[in-house]
Amino acid sequence: DGFSGKEVFGQGVCYTYDDVIFHPGHIDFAAHEVELKSKISKNITLRTPLVSSPMDTVTEAGMAVAMATVGGMGFLHYNMTTEDQAENVRLVKNHTIGFITHPEVMPPSNTISDIDEMKSRRGYSSVLVTDTGKIGGKLLGIVTTRDIDLVTNRSLTLESVMTCDLLTVDDTATFEKAAEMLKASKKGKLPVVAADGTLKRLATYASLKEALLLPSAGAPSTDAKGRLLVGAAVGTRPDDKVRVARLVEEGVDAVILDSSQGDSVYQIEMIKHLKATYPSLDVIGGNVVTAAQASRLIDAGADGLRVGMGSGSICTTQEVCAVGRGQATAVYKVAALAHSRGVPIIADGGIQNSGHIVKALALGASMVMCGSMFAGTTEAPGDYFFQDGVKLKRYRGMGSLEAMSKGSDTRYLSEATHLKVAQGVAGSVKDKGSVLKMIPYLMHGVKQGFQARHCPSTAASRVLCHRAYDLDVLMLWLRSVLVACAVSVDLLVVDSG
Ligand code: XMP
């Protein structure tokens, strides 16, 4: 008839998400009534319990903007210079929903063949032309498909083909004003310019339409000033203290101390330093997989913990180092301890479908972090390429040799040696479209998973009831579609007790 959480996880055997499944309960309310609001750290609550991983093929400013837009949050990777990471924070904090803050921009001396090349990589065929070839330069014109489609000489410069008679809007205009102007003009693009003629951002018919649809999807994640929330990963080296100082200057909301084995003297010292220097900055420690590890980081002052070791789709840490833990067990065990100390945990890695998210939350995580799930989306860094007719993007472990050569070796504690041992692999994933479209579907699947009988202990509440200590009194109802995600493995049934 199944087992309680205590029985399943008290036998000294480790389980991954696919090893466990919940018995269905009795439905007495609609899926949309399930409240998924949850904490990522002591002081930050998100409407959508999903964050994107700080990996260089997953989260830069574009992904962080999209994640915050749908009520989650993105964590910027730090395989880049301090200034580049600070610039990414700035871009997110300055982002206005409904506008494109990173439009394609080229200098007038570029040629049509540069646009052809860009089209094959990114799929766009329109560019704005500024004197510097960058955002912030003086806007000179725009080149769209209509300007170049029938031109046979592809070595002509953009200067000779661009449209200079532009409809623009000034950067103090509201979103509604921009939408109105675009609608009246019947054009597809509206550059936003400052009083001195420099390009600030771009409004397109599609970006404005997307923003108009958002109110029905729910509020974005914002800070007290209404700016989008953004987090960033940092290391524990002395120069990471300088890095955090710059990120704080730009308004970062939380930092993650990025390590595959976070229970170290380096991390404890860094947590203490950051909490003493920036009391209002949320500091997330990890990764950990045992209660003892979690306890040490909580004692040091961590506001949240990231849980998972070797559970990610691109991880080889368990194979290389023989350390780690089955992710379902790790989440359950760490959550039980962390919850008793008032610290939320993030289940990090190994999420392949909405059923895994349901399991992570039901086992005690407050938040779920995904890498591969969001890799290959429009917002993930990197260009698309075709292989055997399939549209792909790169996805690689931060412990892969390829990524470590760019600086992420500190996460894998190999900076002190010239020998770099890979703890991750590099590969590619299929195009998945935009996370703006994917996440609402994913969350609806999760709500259906939690369309549960509420626990007796919180009888009046229909809120997500996912604390680990509650598991043995929790009756979950999983739709057959979610159950189908796990039927191919041995099933261990967790009962309501
Ligand atoms: P998913 O399954 O979402 O996992 O792709 C993402 C998480 O995996 C971790 N990560 C790694 N772990 N070697 C590892 O052992 C690596 O190279 C690596 N890169 C990322 C990380 O916790 C991430 O959030």
Q: What are φ and ψ of residue 367, in 5° steps?
A: -145, 155
Q: What are φ and ψ of residue 35, in 5° steps?
A: -100, 115
The C-alpha R_g of the chain, in whole angstroms, comes to: 24
186 has a pLDDT exceeding 90: no
ipTM of this predicted complex?
0.98
283-332 residue pLDDT tens:
999 999 999 999 999 999 999 999 999 888 878 878 888 889 999 999 99
pTM: 0.81
Q: Whose CA is nearest to atom 15 of ligand 1?
A: 315
pLDDT at 410: 65
> What end-to-end distance do the CA atoms of the chain give, in Å?
10
One-letter amino acid identity for 400? S
Distance CA 58, CA 77 (A): 8
pLDDT at 402: 83
Decide if 402 contacts 423 (C-beta within 8 A): no
- Least confident residue range of 142-146, 160-164, 416-420: 416-420
One-letter amino acid identity for 271? I
Task: Judge whether 251 is annotated as a binding position.
Answer: no
pLDDT at 114: 93
Lateral strand order in the sheet of 105-106: 105-106, 127-130, 139-143
Task: Judge whether 11 is annotated as a binding position.
Answer: no
* Cis-peptide, bond into residue 79, ω within 30° of zero: no
Going from the C-alpha of 359 to that of each of 32, 53, 212, 368, 401, the distances in angstroms are: 19, 19, 33, 10, 32
Hey, how many other C-beta atoms are within 10 angstroms of the C-beta on 103? 21
For the chain, how long is the longest CA-to-CA vector?
76
Active-site positions read 315, 411
Distance CA 45, CA 307 (A): 18
pLDDT at 432: 92
**Beta partners for residue 203, in sequence order:** 190
pLDDT at 107: 97
Residue of 73, 398, 428 best suited for mutating to test ligand 1, as the one with most atoms within 8 Å of CB: 398
Task: Give the helix/strand (H/E) hosting 269.
Answer: helix 265-277
Nearest C-alpha neighbor of 127 from the set 209, 202, 208, 185: 202
Residue 221 zone, left/alpha/beta (φ > 0; ψ -120 to 50; rest): beta
pLDDT at 214: 66
Which tokens hold the place of 496? 């309501």
User: What is the band of 421 on the pLDDT scale with cuts at 50, 70, 90?
Assistant: confident
Pairing assessment for the beta strands 73-76 and 50-52 based on DSSP bridges: parallel
375 has a pLDDT exceeding 50: yes
Please tell me the distance between residue 425's alpha carbon and the centre of ligand 1 in angstroms: 10
pLDDT at 486: 30
Please tell me the distance between residue 318's alpha carbon and the centre of ligand 1 in angstroms: 11
Q: Where are the beta strands (DSSP E) in 60-172?
A: 73-76, 105-106, 127-130, 139-143, 169-170
Task: Judge whether 342 is annotated as a binding position.
Answer: no
Please tell me the distance between residue 277's alpha carbon and the centre of ligand 1 in angstroms: 29
Which atom of ligand 1 is nearest the CA belonging to 373?
3
Which atom of ligand 1 is nearest the CA belonging to 403?
17
Task: Judge whether 372 is annotated as a binding position.
Answer: yes
210-240 residue pLDDT tens:
777 665 567 899 999 989 999 999 999 999 9
Unique residue bearing structure tokens 């400013």: 61
Hey, how many other C-beta atoms are within 10 angstroms of the C-beta on 198? 16
Q: What are φ and ψ of residue 449, in 5° steps?
A: -65, -35
User: What is the band of 97 on the pLDDT scale with cuts at 50, 70, 90?
Assistant: confident
Is 97 exposed, middle or buried (CB count within 10 Å of its CB: 0-12, 13-18, 19+)? middle
Hey, how many other C-beta atoms are within 10 angstroms of the C-beta on 387? 8
14-62 residue pLDDT tens:
999 999 888 887 788 888 888 899 999 999 999 999 999 999 999 999 9
235-262 residue pLDDT tens:
999 999 999 999 999 999 999 999 999 9
Which atom of ligand 1 is nearest the CA belonging to 318?
15
Distance CA 153, CA 143 (A): 15
Q: Which residues are near ligand 1 (CB < 6 Å)? A: 53, 55, 260, 287, 308, 310, 312-317, 348-351, 369-373, 397-400, 423-424
Task: Judge whether 400 is annotated as a binding position.
Answer: no
Q: Whose CA is nearest to atom 8 of ligand 1?
A: 312
Decide if 351 contacts 373 (C-beta within 8 A): yes
Please tell me the distance between residue 199's alpha carbon and the centre of ligand 1 in angstroms: 37
Q: What are φ and ψ of residue 94, in 5° steps?
A: -90, 0
Distance CA 225, CA 137 (A): 28
Report percent pLDDT > 70 for the chain: 87
For range 382-411, the mean pLDDT:
84
* Cα dihedral across residues 116, 121, 126, 132: positive or negative: negative
Which atom of ligand 1 is nearest the CA belonging to 54?
24
446-475 residue pLDDT tens:
998 887 544 333 333 333 333 333 343 333
pLDDT at 472: 35
Please tell me the distance between residue 50's alpha carbon and the centre of ligand 1 in angstroms: 15
One-letter amino acid identity for 24? P
